[in-house]
Structures are given as C-alpha cells and as structure tokens.
Structure 1
Amino acid sequence: MYCLKVKEVRVFEKAKVVSLRFDRELRGYPGQFVMLNVFGFEEIPVSLSSPDSLTIKAVGETTKALLRTEKGKIFGIRGPFGRPFSLPSKDEKPYLVAGGIGIAPLNYLYQYLKDLKWREVTVIHGIRTADELIFDYPEIATDDGSCGFKGNSVQLLMKIIDTTEPFRIYACGPKPMLLSLYKEMKKIGKLKSVEFSLENYMRCGIGICGSCVTNKGLRVCADGPVFNGNEIDERDLKIEF
C-alpha cells in the first residue's frame, strides 16, 4: 500500500458523485482499478477516471463519506490492478458506451485514445436525468428526455452505429444496461467486438479470495475487470438477490 494526497475535490451534489484528483499519477491504464482505503470505513475497488483521479458515486456508507472529502486528505491505495481495455485496431471505430457512473473508466479511455491521436471516438452516456451529468460529451441519453436522446445508452448506440463497418465497443455501467448490450450484439454475432467492464463484489483485488468469480470461472479482479464478450455469458450480467 502507498499513500496519496488529494489536491482537488469536485462534488456533483445532484448526481451524488465525487471526483478526487491526487498529487501524483496512479500509474494505471484505462479499465484498471485501485483498492481505495477509506480510513475509518473500508477498502473499496474504484476504477481510474484519469491518470490521477478517481470518480465515485455515493451508494453506501463508505462512498457517502467520500462526499465529505477535503483537499489535503490522505488515502491509502493498493494497485492499480486488473486487465485494462485493449486498443481498437486501426480499421475499427471505437464506441464508448456508459451507463451512470460507468462513464468514469470510459472517460479515461477517451482521454487515452485522444492522446494517441485517434481520429474519431464516440462516447455515449446514459443517465436517468440531466441532473446526473458529470462529464461533457455530446451523445447523451436520458430516461426522462431532459437532455439529448430520450432512452438509454444502448438504444442510442443502436440508432447511430453502423454494424456493417468494423467497430469496437467498450461498455461500463449497471448490469441491466450491459445485459441489453450483450443481447443486441449476440443477435448480430458481434460479441467479440465488445469489451465489458464488470463491477462484481470483490474483497482482495488480487485474485486470491474468489469472491468475484464469473460463471465461467474467471476472476473479475485478476482476469478482468475488462472481458471480451465471448468470455462471459448472460448469467454474469444478471442482478443477483
């Protein structure tokens, strides 16, 4: 474990999201995650949203505490861990498809591709309402129609994508969204052209405890969290109760 100091805090109150920028880079690639030790609470996995930042939605006690983070706070970090997104081939058009806070790792991927001078990268962000916007991308889908396309990110993707041309889809978001995308790509035989970033429950982050194993026996923390569509099945994308 090593420690990093927060040099900038940005809170999106309506979206209940906080973005923490640190005093140095996390030395990871798009799609990888770190184990963030929130002193006094617990250690949680968080995907990188840029080379030096983490963007987190408040959903539980630990993540809600992060909304109160102040500049100068010290956090313990393990990682980065996991398999990152791969690069598209030169003839593939990249589509980055996010639902909710799933935009965080895809924001880093977008920056990474633009730094590599990728000419055309399409980012699609699906949210419930305009109040949940945290990054400024042109292709927005909202459930209530308050901003951009009325519908979800998968519906917007299927409206604008040309599936007759080579493409690569990078997806991160809630499981119902990922399942919908999985089914659409399976119907047209294009699962191998999709990379899914999964967010299964995990404890160790390094492939030892087995708490995040998929239905095909792969460990989300070590073999993923990014998986090609052919490496997972629909059971991995269904919500378990």
Structure 2
Amino acid sequence: MQTKLINLSGSLTVYFTKLKKVVRHNKKVSTLYFDLRITSYPGQFVMLYLPGYEEIPLSLSSPNSVTVKAVGETTQALVKAHEGLSIGLRGAFGNPFSPSDKALIIAGGIGIAPMKYLYEFLKKCGAEVRMIYGEKSKEDLIWLDEFEELAITTEDGTAGIKGTVLEAVKKEDLSKYSRIYACGGEGMLEALYIVLKKAGVLHKAEFSLERYMRCGIGVCGSCVIENGMRVCTDGPVFPATVIGNL
C-alpha cells in the first residue's frame, strides 16, 4: 500500500511506498521493484529517498523499478535492500527518449538500466531493436537473456568482443537505423560522439547523461553541463548534436 502526498503548490508529488521485490544481480548491482507503477517513459528518472540517507536520482529500469550500482553510501545501502523496505519517491522527471521503428541501443555499465526500459518499450511498439552492451568483465553483465538482438563487449575479453562498446559499434552499418540511443559513462559518450559524427549519423543519436542532482527540478543548478543546459530538466536525454563537450 502506498501513500501519495501532494505539496501545497501541487507541483510535486511524493510517493511513500515499499519494495515489492529485490533482485540481486551481483555484489554491486540490484534491481528494486516498487509497490506501485510510476507514470513514466524510458529515459526518465526518479528522486529516491531511503530513510537515514540522502535523496538521490536514479533512472527507471521499468515503470516500477530502478536498477542500482553500489558507488556511494546510499547506493550501497540500496543494493543490500530487502523486500518490505520503505522508501520515498519523487517523479518521474526529465525528458525521455523519442520513439523509432528501427533502433540501435548502446549501453555501457549501469547505463543498461534505462536502456532495458527503452528496449522493452520499443519492442512493445513493434520496433526492430538491436542492443550493444559493454561491461568490464563477464561477471558484471546482467539481463543477457532479456535481449533478442545483442552484441556484448567486455574490456577483459571474458565475454563477447574484447574492448569497449565502440568495438561493436564500428562493426555496425549505422546508416540502417532510424535512431541510435546511448547511455554510459562520459568517456564512452565522448568517444561515441566522435565515431557517430565521423559516420555522418550524429543527427540520429540521443544520449542519456548522468549528473549529480540535488533537486531534480532545475532549481539548484548542481547538474548544469558545459553548454549551460540542466540535465534534470533539459535532459537527461539530449539530442547528441547539442551535447558538444561534456
């Protein structure tokens, strides 16, 4: 049972709910399923509050889940969370990915979280979708059975192509896709930007950026990027052509 609270201005809604299920993928990554379904689209995020910890932004991996990697105190606590744990949620916030009929999805590391949501959404819409998914090692890969058209890369060569997602991207005929989506670390996105620009397909690409956010609604300015845009409200999904230098 969840409780919905609306603030005095009526502009923000906070949900207090419980975790319905927790899937521990490995030592560092878990998917947390809420006891409610967030009205949202792929690429959007929520602000999640765990009592005793700071509120943090997390991309939705489905309308009723987030997938978390342990990188700090709050995320470490969430990865170890258990069913029945009470949390607070605000959102969904931000601009989502746009639809397409023939898509290439590129995910690096925990960037797979919003991309799984996108993959499932596009497939339900009847789109043709190919995935490229890269991790450091085989043990870090998750959801491999969830994708039909999948190319895997690992930096240590323990699964798929040895190297980063760029190695797989370079093998693709990028001209055949109507949209190219990417989410991952900034180093990956910067390198991918160059590859797509040289291939003449940058205009087809949408990048989901990760930034530290305190408010999630464009007030605090903590997520402003080099071009002055705010990741929380102008993104987190941007046309690759407007990104420039991250």
Query: Is TM-score (shorter-chain normalized) higher than 0.5?
Result: yes
1:146 CA displacement: 0.7
- 1:125 corresponds to which residue? 133
Distance across 1 between alignment mates of 2:220 and 2:116: 30
User: 1:48 pairs with 49, 60, 63, which one?
Assistant: 60
- 1:4 corresponds to which residue? 17
1:123 CA displacement: 0.9
Contact between 1:83 and 1:224, CA under 8 Å: does it hold in 2? yes
- Give the 3-state SS of the residue equivalent to 2:18 in structure 1: strand
Contact between 1:34 and 1:46, CA under 8 Å: does it hold in 2? yes
User: 1:218 pairs with 214, 229, 232, which one?
Assistant: 229
Q: Tell me the TM-score normalised to structure 2 length.
A: 0.90
Q: Which portions of structure 1, spanning 4 or more consecutive aligned residues, are displaced by more than 2 angstroms? A: 163-167
CA-to-aligned-CA distance 1:56-98 (integer Å, 9 cap, x gap): 000001100112211111110011000000012x4xx211100
Structure 1 unaligned blocks of 5 or more: 237-241
CA-to-aligned-CA distance 1:213-237 (integer Å, 9 cap, x gap): 1222111000100000111112x1x
Written as runs of structure 1 = structure 2, the 5 A alignment for 1:171-210 is 171-210=182-221
Contact between 1:97 and 1:154, CA under 8 Å: does it hold in 2? no
- Give the 3-state SS of the residue equivalent to 2:169 in structure 1: helix
Percent identity over the alignment? 52
Q: Tell me the TM-score normalised to structure 1 length.
A: 0.92
User: RMSD value over aligned CA atoms?
Assistant: 1.2
Distance across 1 between alignment mates of 2:78 and 2:175: 44
Contact between 1:49 and 1:104, CA under 8 Å: does it hold in 2? yes
Residue 142 of structure 2 corresponds to residue 134 of structure 1: yes
- Give the 3-state SS of the residue equivalent to 1:112 in structure 2: helix
1:151 CA displacement: 1.3
- 1:13 corresponds to which residue? 26
- 1:157 corresponds to which residue? 169
Distance across 2 between alignment mates of 1:195 and 1:152: 19
- 1:25 corresponds to which residue? 37
* Aligned-partner residue type, residue 182 of structure 1: Y
Distance across 2 between alignment mates of 1:96 and 1:83: 17
* Aligned-partner residue type, residue 113 of structure 1: L
Change (3 A) 1:28 1:164: closer
1:28 CA displacement: 1.0
- 1:239 corresponds to which residue? none
* Aligned-partner residue type, residue 20 of structure 1: L
Contact between 2:107 and 2:115, CA under 8 Å: does it hold in 1? yes
CA-to-aligned-CA distance 1:180-227 (integer Å, 9 cap, x gap): 100111223322111000001111100111111122211100010000
1:166 CA displacement: 4.2
Residue 112 of structure 2 corresponds to residue 97 of structure 1: no
Residue 114 of structure 2 corresponds to residue 111 of structure 1: no
Contact between 1:194 and 1:228, CA under 8 Å: does it hold in 2? yes
- Give the 3-state SS of the residue equivalent to 1:121 in structure 2: strand
Distance across 1 between alignment mates of 2:216 and 2:175: 38
CA-to-aligned-CA distance 1:20-58 (integer Å, 9 cap, x gap): 011121111100000000110100000000111100000
